[in-house]
């Protein structure tokens, strides 16, 4: 009935656009250029709900067929007006496709279109024949200035234009920027990219093109001048000084620059480390760019303005002055964040419940605390939750409490490594001293965590390095559950959880993320962490010939210290399909090996767990593993090995405000060593049979600055079951059982 109604309406209003199709005669080119050509289609059909019926169109028509009242207007606003096929937009699409193909070297494509279908299901097919692709036969330089000609020719191996390669507009623009950047880094201040011109000769035949790169002299046939830096003038525009006060603070004439702080308390040494342009040196663009980035990364200025002004004098030499004006940000800042929270179950007793509660977080920031652009941050977070489970009393309602206090002092340099800090001028370099204290009380334990550390950060546009040469943590845990206390007497796992832990570690982390590059529609995220603990202490004790105690281990300050090696890798790839669809994938793997002074277990906080909103969504947190081991009353769901893979199709449902997803998750955790439990240890010939696999769908509310998410997922393969019974799809013939097995996960942001 709905179909007939749409067909009737389409006869009145015009053919509805139902589908666009691009048909390319060349198979190889089709795989490479289909998505790019689709982006130039000016008219797209109404969106389909989960790839099937056009829900938005039906809602709109439902509102259009009623009288004009509040309900009909609401339906029309919620729905989507029909897309009526427009031949003018088809022609505009073809024009855009031709431009796109010419930019990629196909100068004479044949593009036509056909419209077929019923009135309410119009289908437009774009038939495209690429024809021959133009290639580069030769690259020639015509540069009037001999010095510039020599510079460009010496770097021609770095050119984006190479003989035999296709003729692409993208490479021409890259070459233009490359030459301009090369010249500006050699003192040619006026050599912007507009001076680089191209002449293309396509008359060679056989679809080959010769390219001439032309750089003419400046006006009146004068050669380009190499500019020297004359002065660097730095002024801080202090907002605390009224405009009516004209008197300036003392101007400091330093070796590299003159500095007018205007009573802003910033030591000049900070600016000396951050300013890379110096008097009596050749102008180089990269030094100016690095100066801007370094000053901006200090995080104590609202704005950083750098102007290079040429000195116009009738001399053979050319010079310029740098004027750097800095506008400070507020010295003190604070944020107060009340929170409604839901977390994965944190108790040791397995439960399908989640914790719900409230929290408040106060963050205080003091910028430029010691007048060297240091940033001091103090954060206090207090939370309380209603923790529920089979054996947990329902009174009091809020029975889980946590109070965490942390402090960080950030230096805008590499402390102890001044030369390296200046050499790595293209990075944002920081040194961080941190300390924290956490008090946690829940149904099972009372825990105190003390940590302190010192580390370095090296940040670039897409890359981040973290190196912590020293991290110390002391964890003291006491029972808050008599049943667990009695059970721990014969359970090595519980004993390892509730023992006092001392960890002295060295950690390195690397992250690559090109998601911030707006022009990239596909993006990659990669994170790798490497951590080792206890080795330095162990070497010192061995050198001092300090023997193990009667329990078989060494202690530091009376506490056994842990010794282990741990690494973790997280690789994500987000594939752009079209404006309404993306395919997100992730592979994660982790390995932790206990050694030396603690050969049996890695510390509880350093082990791997699986399940939950950002992991295997078909299983509640800490409900499967290690391996296929599963016993009644089992408490240990931790592992030393972790493997996980996820794939998720994300699609737009309504104006990119409401999004949907379908997904599949797979993975598990294992012990690295055999501990007497059947199928708990990782084995190459059996691990794939022990993977937990789940699937489901989700909804996301996209507020741009925040994404609320709910996912419903159910198991496909359950490693807790005996071999032969692990694939559980047949069980879902009973809808009630399917609903019972479905896990609902709530979260903020995408799961990966």
The answer to whether residues 367 and 470 belong to one domain is: yes
Residue 12: Cβ-neighbour burial (10 angstroms; 0-12, 13-18, 19+): exposed
420, two tokens: 């390296």
The answer to whether residues 311 and 213 belong to one domain is: no
% the chain with pLDDT above 70: 94
Instruction: Convert the pLDDT of each residue in 374-414 to its tens digit.
Output: 999 999 999 998 877 666 777 778 888 999 999 999 999 99
Instruction: Convert the pLDDT of each residue in 299-332 to its tens digit.
Output: 999 999 999 999 976 566 799 999 999 999 999 9
Give the confidence band of 437 by pLDDT, cuts at 50, 70, 90.
Answer: very high
The answer to whether residues 485 and 391 belong to one domain is: yes
The answer to whether residues 351 and 485 belong to one domain is: yes
Spatial distance between the Cα atoms of 476 and 558, rounded to a whole number of angstroms: 13
187, two tokens: 């003192």
623, two tokens: 């409900």
How far is CA 549 from its chain centroid? 47
* pLDDT higher than threshold 90 for residue 669: yes
Instruction: Answer yes or no: is 710 within a domain.
Output: no
* pLDDT higher than threshold 60 for residue 473: yes
**Kind plus residue range of the DSSP H or E element containing 448:** strand 445-459
* pLDDT higher than threshold 90 for residue 465: yes
Angle, in degrees to the nearest 10, between helices 87-103 and 27-38: 120
Instruction: Answer yes or no: is 154 within a domain.
Output: yes
How many domains in the chain? 4
Instruction: Answer yes or no: is 336 within a domain.
Output: no
Instruction: Answer yes or no: is 631 within a domain.
Output: no
Contact in structure between 698 and 660 (CB atoms under 8 Å): yes
Instruction: Answer yes or no: is 171 within a domain.
Output: yes
Instruction: Convert the pLDDT of each residue in 19-40 to its tens digit.
Output: 899 999 988 888 788 878 988 9
Q: How many CB atoms lie within 10 A of CB 112?
A: 10
Spatial distance between the Cα atoms of 443 and 351, rounded to a whole number of angstroms: 13
pLDDT value for 51: 56
The answer to whether residues 278 and 348 belong to one domain is: no
Of 221, 254, 278, the residue at which a domain comes to its end is 221
The answer to whether residues 310 and 381 belong to one domain is: no
pLDDT value for 76: 78
Spatial distance between the Cα atoms of 327 and 751, rounded to a whole number of angstroms: 39
Find the range with the poorest average confidence among 186-190, 229-233, 324-328, 554-558.
554-558
Long-range contacts, stretch 511-519, CB < 8 angstroms, 24+ apart: 511/463, 511/464, 512/462, 512/463, 513/462, 513/464, 514/462, 515/574, 516/461, 516/462, 517/462
User: Can you give the C-alpha Rg of the chain in angstroms?
Assistant: 33
Q: How many CB atoms lie within 10 A of CB 298?
A: 23
Contact in structure between 627 and 682 (CB atoms under 8 Å): yes
The answer to whether residues 31 and 139 belong to one domain is: no
500 versus 497: the higher-pLDDT residue is 500
The answer to whether residues 183 and 274 belong to one domain is: no
51 versus 251: the higher-pLDDT residue is 251
* pLDDT higher than threshold 60 for residue 347: no
pLDDT value for 211: 96
Q: How many CB atoms lie within 10 A of CB 493?
A: 19
* pLDDT higher than threshold 70 for residue 1: no
The answer to whether residues 231 and 310 belong to one domain is: yes
How far is CA 398 from its chain centroid? 35
Q: Which residue intervals of 65-222 are DSSP H helices?
A: 70-78, 87-103, 146-154, 169-184
pLDDT value for 52: 63
689: preceding bond cis by omega (within 30 degrees): no
Instruction: Answer yes or no: is 87 within a domain.
Output: yes
Of 469, 490, 511, the residue at which a domain comes to its end is 490
% the chain with pLDDT above 90: 56
Instruction: Convert the pLDDT of each residue in 674-727 to its tens digit.
Output: 888 889 999 999 999 999 999 999 999 988 778 999 999 999 999 999 988 899
Contact in structure between 348 and 633 (CB atoms under 8 Å): no
Spatial distance between the Cα atoms of 75 and 63, rounded to a whole number of angstroms: 5
Find the range with the poorest average confidence among 101-105, 151-155, 245-249.
245-249
Q: What's the angle, vertex CA 502, arms to CA 533 and CA 413, rounded to 5?
A: 60
Spatial distance between the Cα atoms of 171 and 160, rounded to a whole number of angstroms: 6
Instruction: Convert the pLDDT of each residue in 727-741 to its tens digit.
Output: 988 888 888 888 888
Range of the domain at 97: 2-45+83-129
Query: Does the reported pTM lie above 0.85?
Result: no
Instruction: Answer yes or no: is 214 within a domain.
Output: yes
* pLDDT higher than threshold 70 for residue 282: yes
The answer to whether residues 393 and 365 belong to one domain is: yes
Instruction: Answer yes or no: is 358 within a domain.
Output: yes
Give the confidence band of 2 by pLDDT, cuts at 50, 70, 90.
Answer: very low
User: What is the maximal distance between C-alpha atoms in the chain?
Assistant: 95
Task: Find the CATH number of the domain harbouring 11.
Answer: 3.10.20.310
The answer to whether residues 113 and 12 belong to one domain is: yes
* pLDDT higher than threshold 50 for residue 153: yes
Of 444, 475, 490, the residue at which a domain comes to its end is 490
Instruction: Convert the pLDDT of each residue in 546-577 to its tens digit.
Output: 888 887 888 888 888 999 999 999 999 999 88
The answer to whether residues 370 and 483 belong to one domain is: yes
pLDDT value for 316: 64
Angle, in degrees to the nearest 10, between helices 55-64 and 2-13: 70
Give the confidence band of 171 by pLDDT, cuts at 50, 70, 90.
Answer: very high
């Amino acid at each position: 009935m709905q179909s007939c109604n749409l067909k009737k309406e389409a006869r009145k209003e015009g053919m509805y656009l139902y589908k666009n199709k691009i048909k390319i005669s060349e198979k190889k080119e089709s795989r490479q250029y289909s998505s790019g050509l689709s982006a130039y289609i000016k008219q797209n059909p109404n969106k389909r709900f989960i790839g099937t019926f056009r829900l938005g169109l039906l809602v709109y028509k439902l509102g259009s067929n009623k009288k004009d009242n509040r309900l009909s207007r609401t339906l029309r606003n919620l729905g989507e007006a029909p897309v009526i096929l427009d031949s003018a937009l088809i022609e505009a699409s073809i024009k855009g496709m031709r431009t796109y193909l010419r930019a990629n070297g196909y100068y004479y494509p044949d593009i036509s279109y056909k419209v077929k279908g019923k009135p309410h299901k119009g289908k437009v097919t774009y038939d495209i024949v690429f024809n021959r692709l133009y290639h580069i036969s030769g690259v020639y330089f015509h540069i009037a200035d001999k010095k510039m000609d020599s510079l460009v020719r010496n770097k021609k191996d770095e050119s984006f234009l190479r003989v035999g390669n296709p003729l692409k507009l993208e490479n021409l623009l890259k070459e233009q920027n490359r030459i301009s950047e090369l010249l500006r880094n050699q003192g040619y201040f006026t050599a912007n990219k507009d001076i680089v011109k191209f002449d293309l000769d396509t008359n060679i035949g056989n679809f080959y093109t010769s390219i001439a790169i032309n750089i003419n002299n400046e006006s009146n046939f004068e050669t380009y001048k190499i500019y020297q830096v004359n002065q660097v003038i730095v002024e801080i525009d202090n907002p605390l000084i009224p405009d009516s006060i004209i008197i300036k603070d003392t101007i400091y004439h330093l070796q590299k620059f003159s500095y007018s702080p205007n009573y802003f308390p910033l030591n000049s040494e900070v600016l000396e480390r951050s300013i890379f342009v110096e008097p009596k040196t050749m102008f180089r663009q990269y030094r100016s760019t690095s100066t801007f980035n370094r000053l901006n990364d200090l995080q104590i200025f609202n704005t950083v303005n750098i102007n290079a002004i040429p000195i116009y004098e009738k001399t053979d030499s050319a010079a310029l002055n740098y004027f750097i004006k800095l506008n400070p940000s507020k010295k003190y800042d604070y944020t107060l964040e009340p929170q409604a929270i839901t977390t994965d179950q944190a108790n040791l007793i397995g439960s399908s419940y989640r914790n719900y509660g409230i929290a408040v977080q106060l963050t205080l920031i003091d910028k430029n605390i010691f007048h060297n652009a240091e940033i001091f941050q103090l954060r206090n977070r207090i939370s309380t939750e209603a923790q529920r489970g089979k054996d947990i009393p329902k009174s009091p309602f809020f029975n889980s409490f946590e109070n965490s206090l942390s402090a960080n002092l950030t230096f805008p340099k590499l402390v102890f490594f001044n030369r390296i800090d200046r050499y790595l001028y293209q990075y944002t370099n920081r040194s961080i001293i941190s300390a924290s204290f956490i008090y946690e009380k829940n149904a099972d334990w009372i825990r105190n965590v003390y940590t302190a550390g010192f580390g370095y950060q090296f940040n670039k546009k897409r890359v981040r390095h973290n190196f912590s040469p020293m991290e110390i943590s002391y964890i003291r845990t006491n029972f808050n559950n008599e049943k667990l206390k009695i059970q721990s007497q014969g359970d090595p796992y519980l004993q390892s959880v509730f023992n006092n832990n001392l960890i002295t570690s060295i950690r390195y982390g690397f992250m690559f993320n090109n998601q911030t590059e707006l022009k990239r529609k596909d993006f990659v995220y990669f994170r790798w962490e490497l951590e080792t603990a206890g080795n330095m202490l162990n070497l010192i004790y061995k050198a001092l010939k300090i023997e193990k105690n009667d329990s078989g281990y060494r202690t530091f300050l009376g506490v056994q210290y842990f010794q282990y090696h741990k690494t973790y890798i997280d690789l994500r790839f987000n594939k752009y399909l079209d404006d309404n669809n993306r395919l997100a994938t992730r592979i994660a793997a982790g390995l932790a090996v206990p050694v030396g002074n603690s050969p049996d277990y890695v510390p509880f906080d350093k082990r791997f767990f699986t399940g939950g909103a950002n992991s295997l969504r078909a299983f509640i947190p800490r409900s499967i593993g290690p391996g296929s081991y599963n016993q009644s009353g089992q408490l240990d769901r931790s592992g030393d090995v972790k493997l996980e893979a996820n794939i998720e199709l994300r699609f737009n449902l309504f104006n990119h405000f409401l999004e949907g997803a379908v997904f599949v998750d797979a993975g598990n955790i294992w012990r690295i060593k055999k501990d007497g439990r059947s199928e708990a240890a990782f084995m190459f010939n059996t691990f794939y049979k022990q993977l937990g696999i789940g699937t489901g769908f989700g909804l996301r509310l996209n507020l741009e600055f925040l994404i609320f998410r709910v996912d419903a997922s159910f198991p496909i393969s359950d490693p807790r079951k005996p071999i032969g019974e692990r694939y559980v799809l047949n069980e879902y013939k009973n809808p009630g059982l399917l609903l019972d097995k479905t896990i609902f996960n709530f979260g903020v942001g995408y799961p990966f």
